[in-house]
Structure 1
Amino acid sequence: MKSTLNPTNLTVRPFTEADYPAAVEASNAVYPDYPASVEEWLHTDRNRNPEHRFARFVAELGGQVVGVGQYGQSASNYHPRKFWLEAWVRPEHQGQGVGKALYRQLMDALAPLEPLAVRVGVREDLQRGVRFLQERGFVEERRAWESRLDVQAFDPAPYLPLLERLEAEGFEFKSIRELEADPGRDRKLYELELAAERDMPASEAYTGYSFEHFLKHYLQSPDLSPDSWLVALKDGEYVAVSTLWKAQESPDLHNGATGTRPEWRRRGLALALKVKNLMWAKREGYAQVKTWNDSTNRPMLAINERLGFWKMPAWVTFRKDFGDSA
């Protein structure tokens, strides 16, 4: 049902600390499949790189937060004049000009920063959002498939020979909880994560991030699951990784990075790690795992398809270029 509030009462203002509950609630209303918590937002906001630009605004009608918009820059694919945008409007207030007002505010705030390009992600089945971007000159740049797996239906039996072979070759599979005694663990995990992420498809060149960012953003995350952050080791070297993350407001697990150092690829390590994690998730009683993969990342898509993941609507990245005359 559409709101009867008068759109002329709409105001857009900078986000404040007091807005967290209402902003998170608005996000969850738009994306009920991906619920977040205030603690998760706070953790992300408090651990942003201060050198990267970020701002958030809220739209109010009658004193109620009905929409949120924000811009920022990629932590791992950083470019000083390229930005991402996000905006969402509560379903009952969509089609009333709230999204337009947030977009204007975001673009006005970005103008002094002379952006070369901005990117926005939207799920392909949210046609109102797709049209909104296309009408403003955004063009599709890339797609990422969201896939899901019924954990309790997963059968690990076909993959046990692979695990046995790798273990016979001297590979070990350990969680980061089991690696706590290693004094160099965190630095090794950081270097492995960078090696795994470097070759992943992305819109911009990979720039990485600092060790301090890794510690705060990953190892201190409220969604950390130390028993499902798995590492493959060979003679003490960390050679491959795969992670499953929890979510405070959802019973589902979410795949993080899965990858192998280049010199250790094509041995089945990524598949083995994912199987080990799914075996853990099944024992723990989880129902579903969600993952996202770029449409060009055929090796990982093939692994997920083999394991039984099924595709959901894709997430589409739209880009708008401005050039040096922005």
Structure 2
Amino acid sequence: MPETCSIRAFAPSDAEYAALAAIGASTPPQFALDYEFRDAADWREFDESFAQAGRALTRYMAACDGVPAGYAYAFEVDWAPPPGRFWCVLRVRPEQRGCGVGARLYDRLLADLAGRRAAGLLIELDDSEAALRPALERRGFRAQLQSWAFVLDPRACDPSRFAAYAKLGGLTIATLADEIARGADWLPPLHQLYALVAGDVPIPIDPHASPPPEWLEHQAIGLPESLPEAFFVVRDGERYAGMSFLHANGPGRLFQRITAIHPAYRGRGVAMALKLATIEYARAHGCHEIRTAVESNNPSMLAINRKFGFEQREGLTLFERALELPG
């Protein structure tokens, strides 16, 4: 057990960002929570996005015997009502667990948020950390939804069984690479589509309700894992009715990111057609895995993934605690 453990407010510096990265990297990447990173540059970019948006981000660091041991941070959820709820992330290095570090970080963060009249807290718990569930429940947290990983070996899927879903009655499926090649002004309308449906997603990729168009452009063509030829769109003339895209996720592996369908086109098989297109891409490029994540409050996408043979795997639970505001 450490002799001394201190909690302090995060102070941006190279050393502090290096500490964040070391703590974030102390857990296997498949168990990392949303908005949690393993690289100092990613932490800086995350913080800068809040500064640019003019949004508050509160973070505390723990050190045991002078060694960085954990962090806790929170920001207000702005992508879905009601207001006053704060997204919280807490991480303690494995070798420092069981010493009360997590409890002290939580208490410090809770005191800060209570002073800001927070109405509620949201926190994720990975299935691998199920032993911590009783501690959350003792503190008043209740499970709200689950998010599961779904995995498919596209080589075992026969797309011909789903060929009927590729017929969209006048709608056209294209890739972003095709759109760029024909000179389409793709970014503004696709960003508008994303912004239109972002509130439907309980755990969005980006923590801001209205990320700038440059964010979507970065996801689509600016990252090392970006695959514009695996970014599929559905067009109704020049109007985008839906989109779904894949990222490279290691040799032979793909991760399905955003699937967004314009409300006016839901119920017309657009999501099925996009899913089929991603599977056909994976098969054509010799991939052996497509991985995605689906929340328990999205029955239509759960049904689509199961229909295509995706296997449900590990996941996480989103917990919420309501806070009583002082009179």
Normalization by structure 1: what TM-score? 0.83
The equivalent of 1:137 in structure 2 is 140
Instruction: Give the Cα separation in 2 of the matches to 1:218 and 1:17.
Output: 28
| Partner deviation per Cα, 1:9-50 (whole Å, 9 max, x = no partner) | 444441534233442332233243156542443333322363
Q: What amino acid maps onto 1:225 in structure 2?
A: L
* Structure 2 residue 95 is the aligned partner of structure 1 residue 92: yes
Match of 1:264 in 2: 265
Q: Which residue of 2 aligns with 1:291?
A: 292
**Alpha-carbon spacing, 1:228–1:28, altered in 2? closer, same or farther (3 Å):** farther
Aligned to 1:46: 48
Aligned structure 1 segments of 4 or more residues deviating by more than 4 angstroms: 34-37, 249-252
Tell me what 1:32 maps to: 29
Secondary structure of the corresponding residue to residue 26 of structure 2? helix
Once the two structures are superposed, the pairs formed by residues 20-169 of structure 1 within 5 Å of their partners are 20-33=17-30, 36-38=37-39, 39-48=41-50, 50-77=53-80, 80-163=83-166, 165-166=167-168, 169=169
The alpha-carbon distance between structure 1 residues 259 and 215, as it changes in their structure 2 partners (threshold 3 A), is: closer
Whether the aligned pair in 2 keeps the contact of 1:123 and 1:316 (CA below 8 Å) is yes
Find out whether 1:216 has 2:214 as its counterpart. yes
Q: 1:296 to 1:174 in 2, by over 3 A?
A: same
Asked whether the 8 Å contact 1:201–1:296 carries over to 2, the reply is no
1:8 aligns with 2:4: yes
- Which residue does 1:173 correspond to in 2? 173
Q: Which runs of 5+ in 2 are unaligned?
A: none
User: Contact 1:172–1:234 (CA<8 Å) still a contact in 2?
Assistant: yes
Change (3 A) 1:113 1:285: farther
1:66 and 1:90 in contact (8 A); partners too: yes
> Does the 8 Å CA contact 1:241/1:260 hold for their aligned counterparts?
yes
What is the aligned partner in structure 2 of residue 275 from structure 1? 276
Partner of 1:193: 194
Letter in 1 for 2:12: T
Contact 1:30 1:89 in 2 (8 A): no
The alpha carbon displacement at 1:182 in A equals: 4.3
Question: What is the CA–CA distance in structure 2 between the aligned matches of 1:30 and 1:161, rounded to whole Å?
Answer: 43
1:302 is displaced (CA, Å) by 0.3
For residues 197-226 of structure 1, what are the alpha-carbon distances to aligned partners after superposition, in whole Å with 9 as ceiling and x for unaligned? 34x3649xxxx844xx23233222435432
3-state SS, counterpart of residue 317 of structure 1: strand
Change (3 A) 1:272 1:135: same
For 1:240, the equivalent position in structure 2 comes to 242
Uncovered stretches (5+) of structure 1, i.e. residues with no partner: none
Query: Structure 2 counterpart of 1:281, which letter?
Result: A
CA distance in 2, matches of 1:274, 1:187: 23
Q: Which amino acid aligns with 1:42?
A: R
Q: Which amino acid aligns with 1:300?
A: M
Amino acid at match of 1:238: Y
State how far apart, in whole Å, the 2-side matches of 1:90 and 1:188 are: 43
Q: C-alpha separation between the residues in 2 aligned to 1:170 and 1:224?
A: 29
Counterpart residue type for residue 214 of structure 2:
K
Taking a change above 3 Å as real, the CA distance of residues 57 and 290 of structure 1, as seen in their structure-2 partners, is: farther
Residues 217-226 or 261-270, more deviating: 217-226
| Aligned-residue RMSD, C-alpha | 2.9
Deviation at 1:151, TM superposition (A): 3.7
Task: Give the deviation of 1:89 after TM superposition.
Answer: 1.2
Show the counterpart of 1:231.
233
1:24-83: per-residue Cα shift (whole Å, max 9, x none)?
A: 332233243156542443333322363332122222223332212110123422655210
Q: Answer yes or no: is the 8 Å Cα contact 1:192–1:261 preserved in 2.
A: yes
Q: Render the CA deviation track for 1:275-301: whole Å, top value 9, x for unaligned.
A: 211222333444433322221211110
Equivalent residue, structure 2, for 1:310: 311
Structure 1 residues 102-132: Cα deviation after superposition (integer angstroms, max 9, x where no partner): 1122112223211011111112441233122
Q: d(CA) in 1 for partners of 2:46 and 2:197?
A: 22
Q: Which whole-Å CA distance do the structure 2 matches of 1:297 and 1:139 have between them?
A: 19
CA distance in 1, matches of 2:170, 2:77: 38
Residues 83 and 32 from structure 1, CA distance in 2 versus in 1: closer, same or farther, beyond 3 angstroms?
same
Q: 1:231 to 1:61 in 2, by over 3 A?
A: same
* Shift in alpha-carbon separation, 1:263–1:80, aligned structure 2, 3 A: closer
Give the fraction of aligned pairs with identical amino acids, expressed as a percent: 22
CA deviation map 1:248-288 (0-9, x unaligned): x8975332221322222222211111121122233344443
Number of aligned positions between the proteins: 312
Once the two structures are TM-superposed, the CA of residue 136 in structure 1 deviates from its matched residue by 1.1
